[in-house]
Amino acid sequence: MKKESNLTSAEEAVKSIKSTEEKAEAAMKVAAGVVKKEKVEKTIKAVKDTAKNVKSKATKVATAATTVAKKTRAKKIDTAFYVQYNGKEINKNTILEKVNAEWIKTHKLSELKTLEVYLKVEDDTAYCLVNGEIKIDLKL
């Protein structure tokens, strides 16, 4: 939850910096029309320097946001899933191995994109839907 908050905060900071850049550009246009010609060059230089600083900070914030996003996605939780019934036990890995073995009989493993598994213990069967279409029925 905190990482999502950090990521959201970083994204909001990037938006704020972009908004500040736009305001600086608008201020530069107004300054060019109002200030005398001699002062315009000094004002433009100051605004450009400010814009460069804002852009530099925006880049740093964007980099930090990307790093937080990568760290958030990189962490995975190892899970184990077991079904026990009628004195039998089957786990997630066993089902996945059976689905893979059945799939590679007629298809390439790289073609497997999504897998939905429905366990029906009273039939002693795992019904699998591969890529939203193809059915594989596995006796457990």
Q: Specify whether 11 is located in the same domain as 35.
A: yes
How many domains would you assign to the chain? 2
Out of 30, 47, 74, pick the residue that ends a domain: 74
Q: Specify whether 7 is located in the same domain as 69.
A: yes
Query: In terms of DSSP H, where are the helices of the chain?
Result: 2-34, 37-74, 92-103
Residue 115 Ramachandran class (φ > 0 left, ψ -120 to 50 alpha, else beta)? beta
Q: Which domain holds residue 17?
A: 2-74
Beta bridge partners of 118: 127
Structure tokens at 107: 């298809």
Q: Specify whether 67 is located in the same domain as 14.
A: yes
Residue 133 is classified by DSSP as: T
pLDDT given for residue 87 in this prediction:
87
pLDDT given for residue 22 in this prediction:
81
Q: Specify whether 7 is located in the same domain as 62.
A: yes
pLDDT given for residue 6 in this prediction:
60
Q: Which helix (H) or strand (E) holds 35?
A: none
Structure tokens at 47: 């605004």
Q: Specify whether 70 is located in the same domain as 88.
A: no
pLDDT given for residue 86 in this prediction:
85
Q: Going from the first residue of the chain to its last (140 residues), give the mean pLDDT of each consecutive group of 10, the final group possibly shorter.
A: 60 75 76 64 80 79 77 71 87 88 87 88 88 84
Structure tokens at 96: 């996945």
Q: In degrees rounded to 5, what are phi and psi of residue 56? A: -60, -45
